[in-house]
Amino acid sequence: MFAAERLRIIRSYVLEKKKASVAEISRMLGVSEVTIRRDLEALDEEGFLIRTHGGAILSGEDNLEALPTGGEADAEREQRSEISEIAIYLINDGDTLLLSPGKTNLAIARRLQRKKNLVVLTNDLLIASELASHPSARVIVPGGDLDSLTLSLNGPLTIHGLRQYYVAKAFIEVDGIHLQRGFTIKYPIQLEVFQEMMQMSQERIFVGTPSVFNQISFSQVGPLSSATAVVTHPAVPDEYKRQLFESNITLYASFTAYNQIGRAGDLR
């Protein structure tokens, strides 16, 4: 079954039921849950539905009680879209890349169709699945233990696999960016993998929506000084713009590069 047909059926089903789980849609269509999660991500991006843990609910006023933060989710979705658009301008044809797990990096992966002859390393199964249709990208997925919550591969086998490679640019998505605590993520199971990603890349480009700034998650990936650049949305707090500037870390927001000499450069 082609993706367009799956999406049509999923739209019809969610429109009727108002909500659905990944497992039930997977059984109904006879395809893997990984495929259904990717389809739901696509429908979430277009605003038809809102992803929830294990499934989705229909977007719209009638469902706001079921998910009172829907407006915030819409805003973050738009921010992720803008951030991913900025990131594409940092990627050249023929680049070697790493994409860590995360919704913003998934949005970046969707835009990589514009680039040619890429090598992309990722431990995120949704990102790998998204890139499977890329006409000229070589996609490398290390081995490891599958975490069902994040659909990412982790553990000693993943770290061993990552150590076989060195990439030009690593796009690392985090859950917290803090002046004192640096870059942090929610899940300890991912920590060693994220730290290995930082060691195997020439440029370490951290990505995140404004909501992750001034936040501290459970596991520290590294200090602010470990970044080569940060890609975000212009709503980032001013104190972070100043700190990144003083640390000689380039900040990209809305196609503007706030670089170490204090001038703004247009990425377009």
* C-alpha span between 13 and 54 (Å, rounded): 16
Task: For strands 176-178 and 219-222, give the pairing.
Answer: unpaired
In this prediction, residues 108-137 reach a mean pLDDT of 93
pLDDT at 141 over 90: yes
User: What pLDDT is attached to residue 62?
Assistant: 47
Q: State the sign of the Cα–Cα–Cα–Cα dihedral 72, 74, 77, 81.
A: negative
Is the pLDDT at 262 greater than 70? The verdict is: no
Supply the mean pLDDT for the chain: 86
Weakest-pLDDT range from 147-151, 202-206, 225-229: 147-151
Among 9-23, 69-83, 173-187, the range of highest mean pLDDT: 173-187
pLDDT of residue 42: 85
pLDDT of residue 203 exceeding 90: yes
Answer whether residue 80 shows pLDDT above 50.
Answer: yes
- Enumerate long-range contacts of 130-139, CB under 8 Å, 24 or more apart: 130/38, 130/106, 137/112
Dihedral (C-alpha) 63, 65, 68, 71: value to the nearest 10 degrees?
40
65 has a pLDDT exceeding 70: no
- Split at pLDDT 50, 70, 90, the class of 60 is low
| Domains of the chain (ranges, CATH numbers) | 3-68 (1.10.10.10), 74-266 (3.40.50.10470)
Report the range out of 43-47, 82-86, 251-255 with the highest average pLDDT.
Answer: 82-86
113-127 average pLDDT score: 95
